[in-house]
Amino acid sequence: ETGVTQSPTHLIKTRGQQVTLRCSSQSGHNTVSWYQQALGQGPQFIFQYYREEENGRGNFPPRFSGLQFPNYSSELNVNALELDDSALYLCASSLSGGAPTDTQYFGPGTRLTVL
């Protein structure tokens, strides 16, 4: 167990809807990264938050947005859901985003299905 928790575990939405996924980071960690893992693929980096600021973004459209709170927990919001957004969404927490020795520890993920 890494101490990283995510909610909900599973979610079913329809196209066009909006969704919010939540992540609580491991105690003492100030950085949260979000990844999308499609079936049969490795995780792909969406973005990272470090001390409440976005600290890097992958190749995802602006309808993927995030937030980090003062307690370092984080939300991932996806607007105007598309069928291709169906995936496992992973949150990873780490001690110091961007530091050379930063190591990310993953939560169990939220399985999103878009119908």
Partner 1 sequence: AQSVSQHNHHVILSEAASLELGCNYSYGGTVNLFWYVQYPGQHLQLLLKYFSGDPLVKGIKGFEAEFIKSKFSFNLRKPSVQWSDTAEYFCAARGGGGNKLTFGTGTQLKVEL
Binding site for partner 1 (CB under 8 A): 2, 4, 31, 33, 35, 40-45, 48, 50, 55-56, 58, 90, 92, 97-109
Looking at beta carbons only, is 85 or 110 nearer to partner 1? 110
Which residues on adjacent β-strands are paired with residue 13? 114
- Shortest distance (Å) from residue 26 CB to partner 1: 12
Using CA atoms, how far apart are residues 45 and 57, in angstroms rounded to an integer?
7
What is the side-by-side order of every strand in the sheet holding 19-24?
Answer: 5-7, 19-24, 74-78, 64-68
CA distance linking residue 98 with residue 113, whole number of Å: 31
- Nearer Cβ to partner 1, position 6 or 81? 6
Q: Of 26 and 81, which CB lies nearer to partner 1 in the complex structure?
A: 26
Nearer to partner 1, 29 or 81 (CB): 29
How far apart are CB 30 and partner 1 at their closest, in Å? Answer: 13
Closest approach, Cβ 37 to partner 1, in A, equals 8
CA 44 – CA 22 distance, rounded (Å): 18
Three-state DSSP string of 5-28: EEECCEEEECCCCCEEEEEECCCC
Nearest distance, CB of residue 19 and partner 1, angstroms: 20
